[in-house]
Amino acid sequence: MKDNTEMALIEMLVDLAQRPADRLPDRARRLAEFSLLDWMACGLAGIGEPLAGKLRALVAEEGGRSAASVMGGARAPARAAALVNGSTSHALDYDDTHFAHIGHLSVGIYPAALAAGEETGTTAAEVVAAFLVGAETAIRVGRVLGAAHYNLGFHQTATAGAFGATVAAGRLYGLDAGEMQAALGLCATRASGLKSQFGTMGKPYNAGIAASNGIECAKLAKLGMTSADDGLMGLQGFVPTHTPEPDEAAGWSPSPDERFLFEDNKYKLHACCHGTHAMIEALLGAGALNGLGLDAVRGFMLRTNPRWLRVCDLKAPRTGLEVKFSYAWLAGMTLRGDRTGDDRAYTDALAGDSELAAFAQRVEVFGDSGVGDMQAEGRVMLGEGTVVEVAHDLDAPLDDDVLAAKLRAKAETLLGAHGAALWERFGQIDGQSAASLGDMLRRGA
């Protein structure tokens, strides 16, 4: 058997895909359960979004075998359910993010894992394990693609995420090593998604595409469909055609035997682009600003990583959805005391709020490569020359119990009593089936 130094990336990923559940790290698995419940809360809260209704209508029109549950709908073919559920759960843009490759893991991978789990009659625990291995795959593929891939305009949730969804689904469909390698090769010619869709329904659709691609590629490989031997790193493979700066070594450093990178996953506590959260937390954490209101602020200068300038620096948002990608508007909302964690606050009327529009003229945003992806630094200028320095780092450790409490509170904000009931299931996942999770999605609560 080859050691890691002799194995190609695709071989390493195949090996990871087949890792027994008892070799998955305990803390990573616990966080994967957090992601499951958080994903379900985000998805159930997104059922009423226009995008979700359009996709449910498409699936109903096409029909097909009733194999997996659709959020707020009936049952549908696994691939169709994954498409709807991935898109629906990302519609509020309120799901988790992994910053090592800037991708949303739960919305692109859990829909594939659950659909495959329902179709094959697995347990919820097996779905969680499949998600975890798929998420680790997506992170490591994303690290190989590097920041240059993201900066070119690719949405890693849909590109790297599709490989993770393929591994998750393939694991539950029982693909052997050769079939898994073929599935990854097929995914290499299928994965897609662009950041140009941000601020539109196309962004959450990207997540659905990743999940749907995962089901499709895994099932085709199981049927014996062939693909390029190495669709990832081979000649004209996915990596060399999708980034000018590939870094194959980054994909396996550290190796999963040393540490699962999924343990660095971050969860949203504000219903807006994750690139804005460090700024929001910085402003909330400055006690000198509490209760002052916007009139007391003469100006705000924010320093953020340059990569975010193309993502969440919309100067004049036109819709509530675009507000989620506007530093200036979100800074005003935070200082004014708006509930940034309540998705219902992001209405189209908010984009026309005259007070926020006036405050936005006093906000300056600068790209600073010395500020990390998860950091924000800034200066708030008050009257008579007073300056309040603010800063926050999302990478600061947060105790798991504290995180669980915050995520439960988030679910309750989104779903009320249903959110609380959802989190009551934590600790009981091992005793449930994939079908029981699907039942909750169909009922919408």
3-state secondary structure of 301: strand
Q: How many Cβ atoms from other residues are within 10 Å of residue 26's Cβ?
A: 7
- Going by pLDDT thresholds of 50, 70 and 90, the confidence category of residue 4 is low
| Domains of the chain and any CATH numbers | 9-266+401-443 (1.10.4100.10), 274-393 (3.30.1330.120)
CA distances, 195 to each of 88, 302, 435 (Å): 18, 23, 34
- Going by pLDDT thresholds of 50, 70 and 90, the confidence category of residue 411 is very high
pLDDT for residue 1: 42
CA distance 5 to 179: 23
Helix 50-62 / helix 78-90 crossing angle, nearest 10 deg? 170
Mean pLDDT of the chain: 94
Cis peptide before 254 (omega within 30 of 0): yes
- Compute the Cα dihedral for 305, 269, 98, 236 and give only its sign: negative
pLDDT for residue 443: 82
Percent of the chain with pLDDT over 90: 89
- pLDDT, tens digit, 9 for 90 and up, residues 272-301: 988 999 999 999 999 999 989 899 999 999
Average pLDDT over residues 204-221: 98
- pLDDT, tens digit, 9 for 90 and up, residues 324-366: 999 999 999 999 999 999 888 999 999 999 999 999 999 999 9
3-state secondary structure of 298: strand
Average pLDDT over residues 235-264: 96
Query: Edge-to-edge, what's the strand order for the sheet holding 375-382?
Result: 363-367, 297-304, 375-382, 387-393
Q: Is 2 exposed, middle or buried (0-12, 13-18, 19+ CB in 10 A)?
A: exposed
